[in-house]
Structure 1
Amino acid sequence: MPPLFFVHIPKTAGTSFRLGAEAAFGAEAIAYDYGAESAVTSALVKAHLYGDLHDVWGFGQASAAAGHAMIGGHVNADRFVSLFGVGRTLTFLREPLPRIASDYAHFVRHYDYKGSFRDFYSRPVMQNRQSRFLQGVDLEALGLLGLTERYGESLELLNAHFGTAVPLRKDNRGKRSQAALDALSAEERDELTQLNRRDIALYARAVGLFEARLESFRAGRPWAHARLVETNAKRVAGWAWWADARDAPVEVEVWINGKQAGECPTVELRPGLCRLRPPRGGYVGFHLPAKLTPGDRVQCRVAETGQWFPLKPRRVPAPEA
């Protein structure tokens, strides 16, 4: 079994999770990547990824030989997702504006940052950080997507899904991070919101997915990673696979304007997903030929469980001029 890959987005309860994981797995069973200069970064990571030869595959082999249970750090998802697989990849997201305020307080406290909060959030590198950490990986595909604001429930899902026993901790919690946010004028808050609208949209999707998965978990229903990818005048297409160990395809119902239009199994190859190492060698796609017109409402459902995706019907767009 490949190790877990933890994408540690700053100020999302990642330190609590990291220390909890050390308690569960043992510190020696975890390799960290927090950059070449970080004292936390593991020697194995530095040797393979920050030396003269940048050898990700070699690191993966060395990690397997070391028996690592988890790899984690402030790295983008595409750093190791092709190595360990999207099903073993996990992260936590946080409401964007409090997250960036907490990030600012952290820089002031630990890096002696002297600029104002507005100076800080005006820097492009500090905007939409959560989206950039996950760029190229759909939320629906992640093995586990947790929420900082619901950290206890997130751990419950994580431990049940991966068979782990990571304890609940609350570490590295800044006490003044909200102050900078509260001090903003209405115009500045609007500016901050506009600058981080991608993260705000991402977080809204994450909340919906989290609540749906938690509901399925509480009801004892299996979860399917699933996404509707294409709706146009001629067809509906997407992908889905089971979150548990079963290798069977998912039977997907396609609903158009509130009526079931057909059913198809997820057995088609999706080459664009193969870099994420999904189950079934990437044969997780489906499509249904259909005659659709702009404004039609399309939604899919997992036949076995009744799980809807997307969570709300999607309207067929008008053709481009």
Structure 2
Amino acid sequence: MKDFPAQYDLQDEDVLYFPHIPKTAGMTFRTILEDQFHNDDVCPATLNAQLKDYSQADYEKYRLFRGHINYVDIPQILSHKHLLLVTVLREPVARVISHYEYIRRMPGDPHYDMVKDMTLEEFAQGMPVGRLGKNVQTYYIAKLAQFDLNHLSPDEVFDLAKKQLDRLAFVGILERFQDSLFLLSYIFGWKPIINTRRENAAKDKKSKEEIPPSTIELIKQNSLLDIDLYQYAKELFETRFAEMQRDLLTKYGAFTHPQTVKEPMSSQVTQELLERHAEQRFLNLNPDISNSLSYDFVEPLRGTGWHRRESLNDRSGYRWIGPETSATLDFPVASDEDVIIEIKTICNYATTPDVAASLTLDVNGHPVQLEILYSDRGSSVRWFRAIVPKVALDNGRVFSRLTFRVNRVVSFTEVNPLNPDPRVVGIAVNSLKIFPVHAAKTESAALSVFELKSWRDVATFLEKHLGPGDKIAAPLVFQLKLPNEVLDYQTAFLSKVDFQWLILYKGTIENLNPILFNLLIHRFSPVFADGNFVVFTRQKQLPKLSFLALHVRALYEDRIKVPIKLYIIRQLKQIKSLFVRRSKQAETD
């Protein structure tokens, strides 16, 4: 790290390589690195065996390699690329103990049979040098400089590893993991990374105090190279971290707490100054900021409070809010008018209904009203829309911050006891789009639903029969296609608006039973129906469909017979309760 620039902007020809040393928070660090790259740029392989079938052409496609792949000579394979190496080291004694415990609780580990009956002492001294128990970190780092270490003495391997640390783009220290992420963010100009994840972490750990001093001493004697290398890495890190803080203080200290900011800075102040630093680095590379953008979670993450990225079959990505109840995204948006934000959520069936319905949004601290454009029960999708006033965007910063909140987070097992995923989550967000209000009917991502024939047919039918002043109750996405005023179902019924048409989408996630009862009460008649929609109206001139027609009858049969049965049961219970009370009263009298 000593020989690498203090700040560096990644170039197209750069490839980042993170060789994951066992039990150094590598699983967590791996997902953090993935956050900074487009999903297509990340090599899927994370184990040596997974790389065996890769061709040279396969290697050429990726800009991030990470995982337990140190027995594949990545530096040689990508020798014509500009390879940037990053790593995290851990206090050696703690690393050995953690590795030993990990193997013994994981029957699927390739070393399980060999280690399961070993004592910690046997593990520390009985393993071959550079494998499992002995000086693992030194040999991992040295292999980055020279793949074959078989003919080198331990001292030669150590010297090689030490020189390689000087050349690395970044060396983090597990015991200062958050500070390490701050330094990583500073080097590459990324939004300050705040760690909220603990991937693959043990639930119960033995502390050093629980282990006999003689065992600790034995581990130390078998980890002398790692201890010296770790000490050297700490010195490199502390020097670079102090230089970073001084630079941030000089450039941006006047913007925040100018009277109180001094070295060493708190994590909160460091984060605030790194936000300024990341904005300036972004602006240096992107001087022109647009009034619109589209974002899918396959793209690099500029935000906090999200779980790791996941992928769908259509190659789009998504992330769950969690483990806390709020998450943020930062976007560069410059507009001289109000803008619309559209948000697509998915997997609504995988969380509880109250959580799925609780999403709220703030823009730069200004609450904005979310409304549902449409929802689909089959694909478990909801499209939300918010109109953001220009004043909410005028925060004097390069980025506007979107803050998503839910009422609570739930475990997957709360919804499905068979789901082994231990995470707690809120809502899964797939994508969003921002554009000026005036462009709604051309830029909306929700227009894609009208690529489906049934949606087009309904819109065409309404366009043909609407009167000039007619109002329509429907999924709000029809505002994008119809010239007349479109109200959502709740507004139409609760506000007592006089509306003449109702488009009922059978696939909506929202509860339709109150709507169906209201339609009967207000004397609406069906005039159009297919497998997905029924259109109702109070207009007299159109031929009406029978409520027994196939596509109309199915709607009521599926949704009303159960509520009516429940209603009758409730009425009978009330009658019974009244009878019991009167009987007791008669006995008293």
TM range (shorter): 0.5 to 0.7
Q: Distance in 1 between matches of 2:83 and 2:137?
A: 19
1:130 corresponds, among 128, 131, 137, to 137
- Find out whether 1:210 has 2:223 as its counterpart: no
- Find out whether 1:23 has 2:35 as its counterpart: yes
The more displaced of 194-203 and 167-176 is: 167-176
Q: Distance in 2 between matches of 1:87 and 1:192?
A: 34
Structure 2 length as normaliser, TM-score? 0.32
Query: Does the Cα contact within 8 Å between 1:87 and 1:142 map onto a contact in 2?
Result: no
C-alpha change, 1:172 and 1:160, in structure 2 (3 Å) is same
Query: Does the Cα contact within 8 Å between 1:101 and 1:177 map onto a contact in 2?
Result: no
Letter paired with 2:181: L
Which residue does 2:253 correspond to in 1?
A: none
Query: Does the Cα contact within 8 Å between 1:98 and 1:178 map onto a contact in 2?
Result: no
Query: Does the Cα contact within 8 Å between 1:34 and 1:75 map onto a contact in 2?
Result: yes
- Find out whether 1:46 has 2:59 as its counterpart: no
Q: Provide the secondary structure at the position in 2 that maps to 1:220.
A: helix
Which residue does 1:187 correspond to in 2?
A: 214
Q: Distance in 1 between matches of 2:239 and 2:71?
A: 23
- Find out whether 1:97 has 2:93 as its counterpart: yes
Letter paired with 1:100: V
1:143 corresponds, among 159, 166, 169, to 169
Which residue does 1:63 correspond to in 2?
A: 59
Query: Does the Cα contact within 8 Å between 2:15 and 2:83 map onto a contact in 1?
Result: no
Query: Does the Cα contact within 8 Å between 1:11 and 1:99 map onto a contact in 2?
Result: yes
Following superposition, the deviation at residue 20 of structure 1 comes to: 2.2
Query: Does the Cα contact within 8 Å between 1:5 and 1:88 map onto a contact in 2?
Result: yes
Q: Distance in 2 between matches of 1:23 and 1:88?
A: 17
Q: Provide the secondary structure at the position in 2 that maps to 1:75.
A: coil
Which residue does 2:502 correspond to in 1?
A: none
Query: Does the Cα contact within 8 Å between 2:15 and 2:82 map onto a contact in 1?
Result: no
Which residue does 1:53 correspond to in 2?
A: none
- Find out whether 1:161 has 2:161 as its counterpart: no
Following superposition, the deviation at residue 157 of structure 1 comes to: 1.6
Q: Distance in 2 between matches of 1:78 and 1:141?
A: 20
Following superposition, the deviation at residue 6 of structure 1 comes to: 0.5
Q: Distance in 1 between matches of 2:211 and 2:175?
A: 22
Aligned length: 201
Deviation track 1:136-172 (CA, whole Å, cap 9, x = no partner) reads 4421111111111111111122122224456523222
Query: Does the Cα contact within 8 Å between 1:98 and 1:177 map onto a contact in 2?
Result: no
1:178 corresponds, among 206, 210, 215, to 206
C-alpha change, 1:147 and 1:134, in structure 2 (3 Å) is same
C-alpha change, 1:193 and 1:23, in structure 2 (3 Å) is same
Letter paired with 2:206: Q
Which residue does 1:88 correspond to in 2?
A: 84
Following superposition, the deviation at residue 12 of structure 1 comes to: 0.6
Q: Distance in 2 between matches of 1:176 and 1:13?
A: 15
Which residue does 1:239 correspond to in 2?
A: none
Q: Provide the secondary structure at the position in 1 that maps to 2:201.
A: coil
Letter paired with 2:47: Y
Q: Provide the secondary structure at the position in 1 that maps to 2:182.
A: helix
Q: Distance in 1 between matches of 2:22 and 2:194?
A: 20
1:121 corresponds, among 119, 124, 129, to 124
- Find out whether 1:109 has 2:118 as its counterpart: no
Deviation track 1:81-109 (CA, whole Å, cap 9, x = no partner) reads 34367861000000001111111111011
C-alpha change, 1:153 and 1:161, in structure 2 (3 Å) is same
Q: Provide the secondary structure at the position in 2 that maps to 1:88.
A: strand
Which residue does 2:68 correspond to in 1?
A: 74
Gapped regions of structure 2 (runs ≥ 5): 1-12, 143-159, 249-589
Letter paired with 2:75: V
C-alpha change, 1:28 and 1:177, in structure 2 (3 Å) is farther
Deviation track 1:42-64 (CA, whole Å, cap 9, x = no partner) reads xxx3323xxxxxxxxx53x5333
Rg comparison, structure with higher value: 2
Q: Provide the secondary structure at the position in 1 that maps to 2:105.
A: helix
The more displaced of 132-141 and 8-17 is: 132-141
Query: Does the Cα contact within 8 Å between 1:76 and 1:132 map onto a contact in 2?
Result: no
Query: Does the Cα contact within 8 Å between 1:29 and 1:70 map onto a contact in 2?
Result: yes
Letter paired with 1:218: Q
Which residue does 1:8 correspond to in 2?
A: 20
Query: Does the Cα contact within 8 Å between 2:14 and 2:84 map onto a contact in 1?
Result: yes
Q: Distance in 2 between matches of 1:198 and 1:86?
A: 29
Over aligned residue pairs, what C-alpha RMSD do you find? Answer: 2.5
Q: Distance in 1 between matches of 2:237 and 2:105?
A: 32
Which residue does 1:231 correspond to in 2?
A: none
Letter paired with 1:15: M
Which residue does 1:198 correspond to in 2?
A: 225
Letter paired with 2:92: P
Higher RCO by CA contacts (8 Å cutoff, separation 6 or greater) = 1
Query: Does the Cα contact within 8 Å between 1:131 and 1:198 map onto a contact in 2?
Result: yes
Q: Provide the secondary structure at the position in 2 that maps to 1:208.
A: helix
Letter paired with 1:159: S
Q: Distance in 2 between matches of 1:176 and 1:196?
A: 24
Q: Distance in 2 between matches of 1:87 and 1:163?
A: 18
Identity of aligned residues (%): 28
Q: Distance in 1 between matches of 2:27 and 2:189?
A: 21
Following superposition, the deviation at residue 202 of structure 1 comes to: 0.4
